[in-house]
């Protein structure tokens, strides 16, 4: 007789969802020799999804995704997981699914986050380990881009890029800082958006993870394990490498960023991916793509704080302002953006002419 699922250690805001979960878990437990009494929290993220870990009689462990509809839809996760596996990459295998209710049983990639391993390596000044991990991530990214068939994926189009950029004035400028831009400042913002969108849309397109960063990579065999890929689209080739090198939760000095970017660019060329022949142009594409992402993330982190009651993400706002300001001061046409950012960052500029 299969034991009843033990979800008493797991908080459930909705009793009906808890009942549905227990019934679903009871129905699959015997097939995988699951031990429901071992059910426990594994992790959560910025969405409404959460992940639970459960053990099996043979000592193996599995992950349960709890993704409540209508806020979440597990079908994109299932589809992209299959794409990643088809490209020969290490993503969770979907063993059981109830798409209507938002429950999945997945293979467990472990609990050693790239982010934690990299922070520990930095603390120990273990540059060799950090470099090895990042090279593995770069190799996996090139494999994903060169083997995944992106033709059927939703496009990272003009409308999506602009919706993402709009998060910055809506949630960061207005809601977080209480700033109202003048008509001229709004014009400057729109001109910046036009430049960034045009740069993104001019790039060749590949399969884009959209959050390819150490927090979503696992130290695993084969390395890395890849998570949180359900929002994948067909989009600019520089997007994922920009996400990896200029991350939400760990930063590198620019010489190291450039070193890894060159390694990606060389590997991409060997794989016949459509990167520019000139690395300098690729680096510009990467910086501008990263800027679009960083402005979006500034808006998202503020939205998480004000709308979703998750204020911890706002602690990383200074990191993203620093990323964005550095790029905005570096390229012709982006200077007005730097001036929009500076008051929010608590800095001011004095222009002197001699």
- CB neighbour burial string for 21-32, b if at least 16 within 10 angstroms, e if fewer: bbebbeebbeeb
Beta-carbon contacts of 173 under 8 Å, excluding residues fewer than 6 positions away, are 179, 181, 340, 344
H/E stretch holding 3: none
Q: How many CB atoms lie within 10 A of CB 171?
A: 20
pTM score of the predicted model: 0.91
pLDDT value, residue 6: 52
User: Can you list the residues of the chain whose pLDDT is less than 50?
Assistant: 1-5, 349-354
* pLDDT, tens digit (0-9, with 9 covering 90-100), for 318-332: 999 999 999 999 999
Q: Please give the pLDDT value at position 10.
A: 86
State yes or no: cis peptide before 94, omega within 30 of 0.
no
Round to whole Å and give the CA distance between 282 and 297: 22
pLDDT value at residue 248:
83
What is the helix, strand, coil percentage profile of the chain, to 5? Answer: 50, 15, 35
Strands 103-107 and 50-56: unpaired
Helix (H) or strand (E) holding 200: helix 183-201
Q: What is the pLDDT of residue 46?
A: 62
Radius of gyration of the chain (CA): 22
């Amino acid at each position: 007789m299969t034991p009843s699922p033990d979800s008493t250690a797991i908080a459930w805001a909705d009793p009906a969802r808890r009942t549905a979960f227990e019934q679903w878990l009871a129905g699959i437990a015997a097939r995988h020799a699951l031990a429901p009494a071992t059910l426990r929290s594994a992790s959560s993220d910025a969405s409404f999804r959460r992940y639970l870990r459960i053990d099996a009689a043979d000592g193996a462990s599995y992950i349960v995704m709890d993704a409540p509809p209508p806020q979440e839809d597990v079908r994109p996760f299932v589809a992209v997981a299959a794409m990643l596996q088809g490209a020969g990459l290490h993503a969770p295998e979907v063993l059981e699914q109830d798409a209507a209710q938002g429950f999945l049983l997945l293979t467990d990639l472990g609990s050693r986050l790239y982010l934690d391993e990299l922070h520990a390596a930095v603390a120990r000044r273990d540059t060799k380990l950090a470099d090895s991990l990042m090279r593995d991530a770069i190799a996996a990214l090139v494999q994903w881009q060169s083997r995944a068939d992106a033709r059927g994926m939703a496009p990272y189009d003009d409308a999506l890029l602009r919706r993402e950029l709009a998060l910055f004035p809506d949630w960061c400028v207005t809601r977080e800082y209480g700033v109202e831009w003048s008509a001229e400042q709004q014009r400057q913002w729109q001109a910046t958006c036009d430049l960034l969108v045009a740069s993104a849309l001019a790039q060749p397109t590949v399969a884009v993870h959209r959050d390819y960063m150490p927090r979503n990579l696992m130290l695993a065999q084969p390395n890395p394990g890849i998570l949180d890929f359900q929002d994948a689209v067909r989009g600019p080739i520089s997007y994922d490498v920009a996400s990896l090198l200029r991350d939400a939760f760990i930063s590198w000095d620019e010489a190291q960023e450039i070193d890894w970017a060159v390694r990606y660019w060389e590997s991409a060329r060997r794989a016949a991916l459509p990167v520019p022949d000139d690395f300098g142009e690729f680096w510009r594409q990467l910086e501008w793509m990263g800027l679009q992402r960083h402005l979006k993330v500034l808006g998202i982190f503020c939205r998480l704080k004000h709308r979703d009651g998750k204020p911890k993400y706002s602690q990383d706002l200074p990191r993203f302002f620093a990323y964005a300001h550095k790029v905005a001061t570096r390229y012709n046409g982006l200077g007005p953006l730097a001036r929009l950012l500076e008051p929010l960052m608590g800095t001011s500029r004095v222009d002197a002419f001699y």
